[in-house]
Amino acid sequence: MRYKITYILFLFLLLNSFTSEAQSAKQKALEAKRVQIQKQLNILNSLYSKDKKEEKGVLSLVEDLNLKVNTRRNLIKITNDQANLLTREINTNQNEISSLRDQLTALKKDYSEMIVKSYKNKSEQSRVMFLLSSDDFKQAYKRLQYIKQYADYQKEQGDLIKGKTTKLQELNTDLLRQKGDKDKLIVENRAAKKELEKELKEQDQLMASIRQNLSSYSSKIKKKQQEISAIDKEIDRLVREAIAASNKKAGKSKSSKGFALTPEEKLVAKNFIGNKGKLPWPVEKGVVKVRFGTQPSPIDPSVKINSNGVRIATERNAKVRAVFGGEVLAVAGQKNSNPTVLIRHGNYITAYRNLSKVYVRKGDKISAKQEIGEVFTNNAGETMLGFGVFKDSKPENPAGWIYKM
């Protein structure tokens, strides 16, 4: 019966240990997310503050504010998840503490009974007399082993009590820390909700001013989308020309949709793929304002925004960095648009749009994080880098390639 109880207790503690480790790993992942979102909010607050001072256009202000609202909502959700997980951890800890206290009570009772019994045996007859009263050598040997085992068991029980007492103290300390962390998260969430309320009011005011002349704003959005589409077509043309040229050089059909790669270019492409999800940001400080793919405009949901890459809001005079080593495929420029730099990495292309200054030329060999230009700032004070990743001529989502995008 005793062994059965011990086995059940062991399984209970083992299950608690696995649960605790899983919760701890999830808590670390949530904290990393929360820190990243908070970092984004800090950048947004900094950019938004500067934008207001520079009397930025209403359209850009609404886009920025929408991004802030969504980011803060995400922050509140993550913080809630952390607080809920901490509640579960606290409950697990409290259950384990309760179980340990019960075990300690039982152990101390057994131990005290052993000590009393040992003392009584010692007073009634000495160990020597106990051994000398043996009928033969075999019995004496067995009695000697019994005395040794009993003493070892006493020591083992004492050590077990000491270990569980230490464990109990550690759990109590951990419980106090968890409760402190939870209280801190609750305070932070209250502050975040207050900020969200202010931002939502500001958002409503801005949208009210836009609704008074929605058709005019919608026209501006469509015009901007047309300009971006024209740049997309130019990039597609340049990439397809480069693909045709590589196949012609390799003696293959010029109609091929993919680059004909040399052994060296295959190695570059392999290394590029190997760094997927770990590539550095093309600017040192920035937040993604427009994500990859087709999405409704935050100003007029009936107007669709098509994005072959991402648009990153950054600070004035921000330097643009190559995300990986490669060769400049082209420096493209069209009438009424700012330069775009295309860098080839085997059969992958990275595109850097809306530059005010360009530091490189076609054919230049580029290293990772090398500065290739500066981001353009328009008259409304908006500094936005367009960034794209292409496999041959097919656009891919940059968020899958750039670290924590």
Read off the pTM.
Answer: 0.70
Containing H/E element for 290? strand 286-290
User: Alpha helix locations (H) across 212-295?
Assistant: 214-249, 263-274
Which region among 31-40, 149-158, 224-233 has the lowest average model confidence (pLDDT)?
A: 149-158
Looking at residue 179, its pLDDT comes to 84
Q: Vertex 276, ends 275 and 278: CA angle to 5°?
A: 65
Amino acid letter for position 112: S
Confidence of residue 89 (pLDDT cuts 50, 70, 90): confident
Percent with pLDDT over 70 in the chain: 81
Average pLDDT of the chain, as a whole number: 83
Pairing label, strands 310-314, 348-353: unpaired
Looking at residue 127, its pLDDT comes to 57
CB 72 within 8 A of CB 199: yes
What is the length of the chain? 405
Q: Please state the domain extents for the chain.
A: 2-211, 226-400
Between 251 and 105, where is the model more confident? 251
CB 334 within 8 A of CB 234: yes
Looking at residue 241, its pLDDT comes to 95
CB 391 within 8 A of CB 382: no
Q: Name the fold adopted by 226-400.
A: Glucose Permease (Domain IIA) (2.70.70)
Looking at residue 143, its pLDDT comes to 63
pLDDT, one tens digit per residue, over 208-232 is 888 888 888 889 889 889 989 999 9
Looking at residue 17, its pLDDT comes to 55
Residue 304, pLDDT > 80, answer yes
Measured between alpha carbons, how far is 214 from 220 in angstroms, rounded to an integer? 10
Percent with pLDDT over 90 in the chain: 38
Between 157 and 204, where is the model more confident? 204
Looking at residue 4, its pLDDT comes to 47
Confidence of residue 291 (pLDDT cuts 50, 70, 90): very high
Looking at residue 239, its pLDDT comes to 96
Q: Vertex 305, ends 302 and 308: CA angle to 5°?
A: 160
Measured between alpha carbons, how far is 15 from 11 in angstroms, rounded to an integer? 6
Give the bridge partners for 307, in sequence order.
293
Containing H/E element for 372? strand 371-375
Measured between alpha carbons, how far is 81 from 64 in angstroms, rounded to an integer? 26
> Running DSSP on this structure, what letter comes out for residue 302?
T
Of 237, 320, 252, 248, give the one whose Cα is nearest residue 284: 320
pLDDT, one tens digit per residue, over 312-360 is 999 999 999 999 999 999 999 877 789 999 999 999 999 999 999 999 9
Containing H/E element for 17? helix 2-53
